[in-house]
Amino acid sequence: MTKQRYLGRVGWALGGAAAGFAWYYFVGCASGTCPISSNPYVSTAYGALVGVLASGGFRRKQDGETKPQQ
């Protein structure tokens, strides 16, 4: 995997983490019973995971494929 692809995934993860924290900060959960949006650490980690998934971070290599997908 190239350095550029890693940087792209890190960028998506950081963007997702920022979006997750923004969701906690602006929307949140006043009662504290919401499992994701009641804790800033959980919502930030969840946002980072969604960012990596949105970047195509968990693609599998197809049979017979030699070059990574871009």
Per-residue model confidence as pLDDT tens digits over 17-63 = 999 999 999 998 888 788 888 889 999 999 999 998 888 766 666 66
d(CA 45, CA 53): 12
- Quick one: pLDDT band at residue 66, thresholds 50, 70, 90? low
CA distances to 40, 43, 45, 47, 51 from 13, rounded to whole Å, are 16, 13, 9, 8, 5
Residue type, 28: G
**pLDDT at residue 43 in the model:** 93
For the chain, where are the E strands, in sequence order? none
**pLDDT at residue 16 in the model:** 94
- Quick one: pLDDT band at residue 70, thresholds 50, 70, 90? low
Which residues lie closer than 8 Å to 9 by C-beta, 6 or more apart? 52, 55, 57
